[in-house]
């Protein structure tokens, strides 16, 4: 019998896998808990099972993940898939649900690598069947080889929107239009960051290639679009928007929205990590040091859940945090940690030179992520509308938590993941305060819904055999 694990990692994307490989090779006992049914996270989703004929479409950025996945598979780290981590208590008992049961496992160190999620885009009609996140469609393609049929409209901005559009083009999907919500002013504001971005000119070239492919395919790229609405009686039937003061409408059965991705902070919040506001992309991220160590003892964060910098940075951060936890457990010296981490710090630094430019060009558009029509649903689980939030603010509720208590926003199935940022932005606008003054929901365990069967089958496994 051993007393739990030296290290429990939450998430098997590039960040979690790299941390597992490193810590395991340093001699730690490692358990990786992953909610999805496969390793690889969002970017390398289903890579181990991808169909041969889809490889060309998904490209080298996807296929290169096989190396890391193979290293993980041969590392002998223990791995449980379909395991949703619900809580980590102050003594580092990691509680997770799998199937009909709930388990608790003791860890000396925890690394959280739960990735990011698409920023919710609460335009009028966004909850209608037929409206989806654009990146989710890519996940369906990777996972189940599914591609949409009929005419598709994409709306929003960001590199992932372009990537999804390219995949749709490659798959022969008819795109009626891409409604580009980006603000022209962003391009001018991004010029100071261009010299830094040139150090990763391969990304700039990839971006231009994606734009070229979309143009060459004849897809209409409509810039300067505002006031996007999803219309239809029950089901989506058309998309309305304005451009240069004129209103237009496109018939479609599928609208794919995207306004960037934001860190998945439910777990880091639930366990009390300190968070800071990243204004350029209007999201909260946990405060961590250069090794990924959070403000909570023996809990580190790597990858997109600690700030959205992409798959490569997630991987380098995973190696760095893996070395740090090995040092903290006494398996390597401080000097070994520094020597081994040095190439990863260098690679990470180089990789990050592109970020200020990308973040500046693709700043999220306020008109897309803060609703301004009273009937727009803000909290989709509890069907709370903007007017309900405004009414709560009018009678004096001035914090996300008190608005939640009054309106039930954030009390539904997603536990505020989908409306947390939006509610805070509405409060920022209505009360003319800063995001720091407004704050965020208090996220409490369990961070995801638990079934009665799981509650009834709770097994506190302090020891692993």
Ligand X SMILES: Cc1cc2nc3c(=O)[nH]c(=O)nc-3n(C[C@H](O)[C@H](O)[C@H](O)COP(=O)(O)OP(=O)(O)OC[C@H]3O[C@@H](n4cnc5c(N)ncnc54)[C@H](O)[C@@H]3O)c2cc1C
| Residues 149-188: x where in contact with ligand X by CB under 6 A, - otherwise, as a string | -----------x--x-------------------------
With respect to ligand X, which residue has the nearer C-beta, 122 or 232?
122
Name the pairing type of β-strands 84-88 and 78-81: unpaired
- For residues 71 and 345, give the distance between their C-alpha atoms in angstroms, rounded to a whole number: 20
Q: How far is the CB of 233 from ligand X (least distance, A)?
A: 29
Pick the stretch among 37-45, 194-202, 203-211, 397-405 that binds ligand X (CB under 6 A): 37-45
With respect to ligand X, which residue has the nearer C-beta, 238 or 442?
442
Q: Is residue 14 at the binding interface for ligand X, with CB under 6 A as the rule?
A: yes
Name the pairing type of β-strands 101-112 and 116-118: unpaired
| Residues 52-81: x where in contact with ligand X by CB under 6 A, - otherwise, as a string | ---------x--------------------
With respect to ligand X, which residue has the nearer C-beta, 191 or 205?
205
Give, as ranges, the residues between 86 and 125 that touch ligand X (CB under 6 A).
113-118
With respect to ligand X, which residue has the nearer C-beta, 39 or 424?
39
Q: How far is the CB of 414 from ligand X (least distance, A)?
A: 12
Q: Which of 384, 398, 444, 311 is nearest to 40 (CA)?
A: 311
Q: Which residues pair with 378 in a beta bridge?
A: none
Options 5, 9, 28, 35; binder of ligand X; rule CB under 6 A: 35
With respect to ligand X, which residue has the nearer C-beta, 75 or 407?
75
Angle between helices 159-170 and 134-144 (to 10 degrees): 50
Options 25, 54, 136, 442; binder of ligand X; rule CB under 6 A: 136
With respect to ligand X, which residue has the nearer C-beta, 33 or 403?
33
Count of residues that interact with ligand X, criterion CB under 6 A? 39
Q: How far is the CB of 391 from ligand X (least distance, A)?
A: 32
Phi, psi of 364 (to 5 degrees): -65, 145
Q: Is residue 36 at the binding interface for ligand X, with CB under 6 A as the rule?
A: yes
Cα 306–Cα 311–Cα 312 angle in degrees, nearest 5: 105
Name the pairing type of β-strands 5-10 and 30-34: parallel
* SS3 at position 214: helix
Q: Are 410 and 420 in contact (CB under 8 A)?
A: yes
Options 23, 33, 256, 270; binder of ligand X; rule CB under 6 A: 33
Q: What is the DSSP string of 96-152?
A: EEETTEEEEEEEEEEEE---EEEPP---TTTTSTTEEEHHHHHHHHHHH-----S-E
| Residues 308-347: x where in contact with ligand X by CB under 6 A, - otherwise, as a string | --xx--x---------------------------------
With respect to ligand X, which residue has the nearer C-beta, 124 or 263?
263
Tell me how crowded residue 253 is: count the other CB atoms within 10 A of its CB. Answer: 17
With respect to ligand X, which residue has the nearer C-beta, 60 or 394?
60
- Rg of the chain over CA atoms, in angstroms? 22
Q: Which residues pair with 96 in a beta bridge?
A: 85, 103
Angle between helices 65-73 and 14-25 (to 10 degrees): 40
Supply 206's token pair: 């990839």
- For residues 456 and 84, give the distance between their C-alpha atoms in angstroms, rounded to a whole number: 17
Q: Is residue 135 at the binding interface for ligand X, with CB under 6 A as the rule?
A: yes
Q: Which of 142, 117, 113 is nearest to 18 (CA)?
A: 113
Q: Is residue 261 at the binding interface for ligand X, with CB under 6 A as the rule?
A: yes
Options 42, 157, 183, 190; binder of ligand X; rule CB under 6 A: 42
Options 8, 21, 23, 43; binder of ligand X; rule CB under 6 A: 43
Q: How far is the CB of 199 from ligand X (least distance, A)?
A: 19
Q: Is residue 190 at the binding interface for ligand X, with CB under 6 A as the rule?
A: no
Give, as ranges, the residues between 264 and 303 that touch ligand X (CB under 6 A).
264, 267, 303
Tell the burial category of 295 from Cβ atoms under 10 Å away from its Cβ (0-12, 13-18, 19+): middle
- For residues 279 and 394, give the distance between their C-alpha atoms in angstroms, rounded to a whole number: 26
Q: How far is the CB of 334 from ligand X (least distance, A)?
A: 26
- For residues 301 and 270, give the distance between their C-alpha atoms in angstroms, rounded to a whole number: 14
Options 7, 9, 10, 418; binder of ligand X; rule CB under 6 A: 10
Q: Which of 360, 1, 393, 400 is nearest to 159 (CA)?
A: 360
With respect to ligand X, which residue has the nearer C-beta, 87 or 229?
87
Residues at the contact surface with ligand X, assessed by CB under 6 A: 10-16, 33-36, 41-43, 61, 83-85, 113-118, 135-136, 138-139, 160, 163, 261, 264, 267, 303-305, 310-311, 314
């Amino acid at each position: 019998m051993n007393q739990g694990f030296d290290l429990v990692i939450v998430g098997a994307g590039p960040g979690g896998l790299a941390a597992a490989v490193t810590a395991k090779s340093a001699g730690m006992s490692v358990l990786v808990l992953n909610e999805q049914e496969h390793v690889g996270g969002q970017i390398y989703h289903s890579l181990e099972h991808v169909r041969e004929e889809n490889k060309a479409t998904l490209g080298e950025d996807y296929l290169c993940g096989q190396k890391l996945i193979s290293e993980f598979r041969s590392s002998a780290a223990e791995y449980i898939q379909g395991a949703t981590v619900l809580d980590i208590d102050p003594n580092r008992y990691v509680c997770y649900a799998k199937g009909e049961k709930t388990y608790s496992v003791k860890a000396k160190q925890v690394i959280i690598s739960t990735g990011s999620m698409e920023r919710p885009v609460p335009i009028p009609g966004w909850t209608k069947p037929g409206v989806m996140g654009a990146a989710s469609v890519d996940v369906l393609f990777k996972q189940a080889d599914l591609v949409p049929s009929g005419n598709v409209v994409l709306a929003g901005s960001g590199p992932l929107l372009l990537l999804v559009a390219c995949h749709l083009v490659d798959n022969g999907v008819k795109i009626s239009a891409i409604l580009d919500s980006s603000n022209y002013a962003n391009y001018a504001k991004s010029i100071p960051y261009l010299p830094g971005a040139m150090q990763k000119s391969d990304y700039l070239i990839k971006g231009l290639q994606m734009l070229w492919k979309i143009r060459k395919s004849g897809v209409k790229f409509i810039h300067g679009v505002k006031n996007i609405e999803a219309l239809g009686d029950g089901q989506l039937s058309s998309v309305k928007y304005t451009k240069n003061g004129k209103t237009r409408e496109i018939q479609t059965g599928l609208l794919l929205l995207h306004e960037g991705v934001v860190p998945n902070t439910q777990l880091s919040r639930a366990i009390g990590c300190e968070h800071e506001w990243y204004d350029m992309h209007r999201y909260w991220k946990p405060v961590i040091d250069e090794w990924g160590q959070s403000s909570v003892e023996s809990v580190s964060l790597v990858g997109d859940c600690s700030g959205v910098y992409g798959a490569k940075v997630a991987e380098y951060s995973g190696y760095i945090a893996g070395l740090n936890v090995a040092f903290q457990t006494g398996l390597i010296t401080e000097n070994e940690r520094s020597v081994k981490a040095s190439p990863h710090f260098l690679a990470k630094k180089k990789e990050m030179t592109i970020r200020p430019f990308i973040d500046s060009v693709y700043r999220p558009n306020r008109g897309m992520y803060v609703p301004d029509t009273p009937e727009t649903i803000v909290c989709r689980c509890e069907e709370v509308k903007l007017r309900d939030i405004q009414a709560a603010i009018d009678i004096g509720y001035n914090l996300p938590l008190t608005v939640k208590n009054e309106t039930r926003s954030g009390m539904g199935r997603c536990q505020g993941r989908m409306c947390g940022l939006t509610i805070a932005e509405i409060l920022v606008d209505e009360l003319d305060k800063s995001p720091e003054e407004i704050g965020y929901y208090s996220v409490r365990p369990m961070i995801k819904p638990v079934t009665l069967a799981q509650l009834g089958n709770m097994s506190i496994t302090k020891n692993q055999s």
